Structure 1
């Protein structure tokens, strides 16, 4: 068994895939560098991102998979589930070894796993697009905090860039300690350090615009006015808006 560590990026993982073929590794385990734990029974190889290797694997997959299948592959990687790199390696190997399309071969456990996981990640990204709530800071930056189940910020940045093209905004994933920042031109990944007063960025009242509290209260009042108590169906409501999102929604906060 050979354990191959990589930098945690999708491009870095595809570099590892190339090296599995390059060195003819038959039995491998792939894991992120920061999660690696030495094992006396396993050999260890540290992979470094290589643009040429990444490109060759991606082109090879693009020649055999549809755009939707490539997208599913990427979404599955973003799930960050334990051992997902090895599941995806099996998917790639099955793809490259087959003469026919394997995309809908759900009798294969790996293909089914990728399809199911990609669907869950897509659903989470769709929810983030609906449930992200911005707060205005004193320097005219619209800031939002979130804690998605999966690493969906790369999937939602296009939506927010197009929808809020005339505003500077930052969406920060406090679970993964990074965010996406739009500076009216491009979207960039950012890492921020918060002091104890902001509780890891969750409480930013000290830097919000003086009118932000008013905006929040107006939104809460609007939400209360359109909510018809007689038609309240909490089970259905939770189904569409799970409770784990409520702490970031101003309409769910008490006045």
Structure 2
């Protein structure tokens, strides 16, 4: 039996509710995005029901500590197709066993969630370290990202606390949504980019007139502070992987 859900967290939790209600035996959970019908395989499309999802989530809150609830959420944000089934199986496993079952690292689903959560947390920390803002002509600080995982929900509080006195937008180009901080709250937004707009970097027409000067000064400072004799490219790449260089002003060509 294959359960098919819409890819949402509420849909995943609704799938768990349906399993306990129907008890169909062994089930594999797949999202509609990757599901391929098979001639002789039985499948069931799960309808997302927020009331059912809320009941499952409340049950998990009673069964799991906060650190494991975060691991669960981070695993979901990984967006990996195989992670959804592990989350489904993990949740069923937790409800069918006594308190503390999440500490059984001999269980494949417990191990999987630990691995996914660790990868997502690492991406979160790197985004917090490597994001560089550009100031627009109207005084809003803009940064575009395309992380491996959906980490925007995890980095929101960091940037709200760190840049509390300025408006900013962090936009995920891969997932086509972003966060806008208006000095009071953080809201989710979408932007309709024109075909001619370069999304990764603001055009000079949209940037504040001082932005290019600040970028040039930072590059000059970086070059002057760099000690060539102590250059260790291998160690540098280990701490700052090349795929993050596109976010760093000092790595961009003039």
TM over 0.5: yes
More displaced 10-residue stretch of structure 1: 224-233 or 165-174? 224-233
Q: Which residue of 1 aligns with 2:192?
A: 193
* Pairing 1:113-128 to 2, within 5 Å after superposition: 113-128=112-127
* Pairing 1:40-59 to 2, within 5 Å after superposition: 40-59=39-58
Q: 2: distance between equivalents of 1:49 and 1:160?
A: 32
Q: Which residue of 2 aligns with 1:254?
A: 253
Q: How many residues align?
A: 253
Q: Deviations for 1:23-66, whole angstroms, at most 9, x for unmatched residues?
A: 32323333333444444434444434323212211111111111
Question: Could you tell me whether the CA contact under 8 Å between 1:124 and 1:149 is conserved in 2?
Answer: yes
Q: 1: distance between equivalents of 2:41 and 2:141?
A: 48
Normalising to structure 1: TM-score of the pair? 0.92
1:183 equivalenced with 2:182 (yes/no): yes
1:27 equivalenced with 2:26 (yes/no): yes
Q: Deviations for 1:81-133, whole angstroms, at most 9, x for unmatched residues?
A: 12211111111111111114122211112111111111111011000000000
RMSD over equivalenced CA pairs, Å = 1.7
1:224 equivalenced with 2:226 (yes/no): no
- Change in CA separation of 1:149 and 1:109 when aligned onto 2, cut-off 3 Å: same
The alpha-carbon deviation at position 213 of structure 1 amounts to 0.6
Q: Which residue of 2 aligns with 1:146?
A: 145
Q: Which residue of 2 aligns with 1:203?
A: 201
Q: Which residue of 2 aligns with 1:12?
A: 11
Q: Which residue of 1 aligns with 2:3?
A: 3
Gaps of 5+ in 1: none
Q: 1: distance between equivalents of 2:197 and 2:202?
A: 5
Give the secondary structure class of the aligned counterpart of 2:150. Answer: coil
